[in-house]
């Protein structure tokens, strides 16, 4: 009888352990990073006009140009390329231009590499490929691709403007349809231009006709969760996206500022331990684009193109109407040395509609969810950007073929990494070295900074040691992960170390 009771207890214990591990797996999967955001590929830093040495101190001008993890691809040798970060597999070849409807038919028929689950990519999937080391030019020979041509086929447009064929006309369709109309009430599809480095909404049909417009398409397969957010309101004015591993400000900056000020804004907030953290940064282009909700627009939902879990400040646009801001990123657009921004409201421009009109009309030319760029500083009403007059006879200003409005003073929504448990920015602390790591006994700190204080904490944040000595006895610490925080006159640096 006693033996039977022991067996029952063991069986019950096994059931409890089984339920625990199943629950742990479910929780882990619910919080899995299914939407890993690839970096922009940029390693340089810039001021308003040129490349600079990357600033290392938080008080330096133009500090904080973090551009994310390095892209990583694999040529599979069968006409496909795998993205080792996102888990997406792509058709390598450039292909031919086809209509949007035909793209879906061709994707269903594609069996490249022996796979039959190819699809037209969403704009978020497609944008994962952009590399901001590109630059467009007037002639095809002057262009540098906004995509890694070691792994992807690429071409420019013919560049023959005499027949209306521009160098930049080599756009890719996405599967994402704009929930609104652009230009002349055109049905619009979002696309990516890897010649000029922008997301824009493109008319599904050739303007003024019912004939379908043709653009390139690059099919994708795998990781069907990519681009799907998993937002959680932390009830402390922050929003966590469990899909990307990023935490965001729920509220934006509530006012516009130039690009340099936007970078500095992040460090001002960090100096105040804003919302309990001091590792906020201006997001790079792909991070910010991940926030877009392409099911929303001013036309469709009378809102910004963002999940309503966020607050987005309303503005009065260049036409005197209620709209929503452009938001700065930390990424530089080399075409014009402008700052890359993402439009959460309508991507407005001044155009003659029809082309024979004698005045310019303000229109949503590229759709909420577009990515363009602005001058980093200056006066948006400068004569440099003068386009002509509107119907009322007022001077209007903009830039580019569709007269993109120039705001320059754009809004900010800061971001931080959720997995940075220290709460301190570890991005630019490579001038702090600790060794050995892992450590058994003495830990040595190597830095040229003038040290004010050194603290060691465990993963719960409990302070274990405070000193100014550069050699610390760790022999009494239990095995595990620890953080060392070095405070100097100019910065606070944090590194993790392991005690063996």
Residues 6 or more apart whose Cβ sits within 8 Å of residue 178:
188, 189, 190, 201, 294, 297, 367, 368, 369
**pTM (two decimals):** 0.79
- Please state the φ and ψ torsions of residue 318, each to the nearest 5 degrees: -65, -15
Q: Tens-digit pLDDT profile for the chain (500 aa)?
A: 554 555 555 555 444 443 344 333 333 444 568 899 999 999 999 999 999 999 999 999 999 999 999 999 999 999 999 999 999 999 999 999 999 999 999 999 999 999 999 999 999 999 999 999 999 998 999 999 999 999 999 999 987 766 667 999 999 999 999 999 999 999 999 999 999 999 999 999 998 888 999 999 999 999 999 999 999 999 999 999 999 999 999 999 999 999 999 999 999 999 999 998 999 999 999 999 999 999 999 999 999 999 999 999 999 999 999 999 999 999 999 999 999 999 999 999 999 999 999 999 999 999 999 999 999 999 999 999 999 999 999 999 999 999 999 999 999 999 999 975 444 444 344 557 888 989 999 999 888 778 888 989 876 667 899 999 999 999 999 988 888 888 876 667 778 889 89
Q: Tell me the three state secondary structure of residue 91.
A: strand
Q: Tell whether the torsion through CA atoms of 198, 370, 386 and 61 is positive or negative.
A: negative
- Cβ atoms of 285 and 124 closer than 8 Å: no
């Amino acid at each position: 009888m006693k033996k039977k009771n022991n067996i029952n207890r063991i069986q019950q214990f096994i059931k409890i352990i089984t339920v625990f591990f199943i629950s742990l797996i479910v929780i882990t999967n619910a919080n899995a990073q299914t939407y890993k955001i690839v970096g922009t590929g940029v390693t340089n830093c810039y001021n308003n006009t040129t490349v600079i040495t990357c600033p290392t101190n938080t008080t330096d001008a133009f500090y904080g140009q973090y551009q994310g993890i390095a892209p990583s691809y694999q040529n599979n040798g069968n006409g496909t390329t795998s993205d080792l970060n996102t888990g997406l597999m792509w058709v390598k070849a450039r292909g031919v231009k086809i209509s949007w409807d035909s793209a879906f038919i061709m994707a269903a028929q594609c069996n490249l590499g022996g796979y039959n689950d190819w699809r037209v990519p969403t704009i978020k999937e497609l944008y994962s490929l952009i590399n901001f080391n590109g630059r467009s030019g007037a002639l095809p020979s002057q262009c540098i691709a906004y995509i890694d041509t070691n792994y992807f086929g690429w071409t420019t447009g013919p560049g023959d403007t005499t027949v209306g064929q521009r160098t930049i006309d080599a756009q890719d369709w996405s599967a994402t349809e704009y929930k609104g109309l652009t230009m002349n009430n055109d049905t619009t599809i979002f696309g990516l231009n890897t010649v000029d480095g922008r997301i824009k909404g493109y008319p599904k049909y050739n303007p003024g006709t019912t004939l379908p417009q043709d653009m390139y398409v690059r099919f994708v397969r795998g990781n069907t969760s990519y681009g799907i957010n998993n937002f959680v309101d932390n009830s402390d004015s922050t929003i966590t996206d469990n899909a990307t591993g990023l935490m965001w400000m729920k509220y934006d900056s509530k006012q516009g500022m130039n690009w340099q000020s936007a970078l500095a804004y992040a460090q001002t907030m960090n100096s105040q331990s804003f919302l309990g953290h001091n590792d906020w940064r201006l997001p790079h282009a792909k991070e910010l684009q991940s926030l877009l909700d392409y099911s929303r627009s001013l036309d469709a939902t009378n809102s910004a193109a963002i999940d309503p879990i966020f607050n987005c400040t309303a503005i009065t646009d260049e036409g005197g109407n209620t709209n929503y801001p452009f938001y700065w990123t930390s990424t530089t657009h080399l075409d014009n040395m402008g700052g890359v921004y993402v439009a959460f409201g309508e991507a407005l421009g001044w155009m003659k509609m029809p082309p024979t009109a004698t005045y310019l009309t303000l229109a949503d030319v590229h759709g909420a969810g577009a990515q363009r760029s602005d001058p980093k500083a200056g006066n948006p009403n400068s004569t440099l950007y003068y386009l002509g007059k509107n119907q009322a006879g007022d001077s209007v200003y903009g830039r580019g073929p569709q007269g993109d409005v120039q705001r320059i003073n754009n809004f900010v929504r800061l971001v931080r990494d959720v997995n940075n448990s220290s709460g301190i920015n570890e991005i630019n602390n490579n001038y702090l070295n600790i060794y050995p790591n892992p450590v058994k006994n003495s830990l040595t700190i190597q830095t040229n900074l003038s040290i004010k204080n050194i603290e060691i904490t465990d993963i719960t944040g409990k302070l274990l040691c405070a000193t100014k000595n550069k050699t610390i006895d760790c022999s009494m610490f239990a095995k595990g992960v620890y953080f060392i925080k070095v405070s100097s006159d100019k910065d606070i640096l944090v590194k993790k170390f392991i005690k063996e």
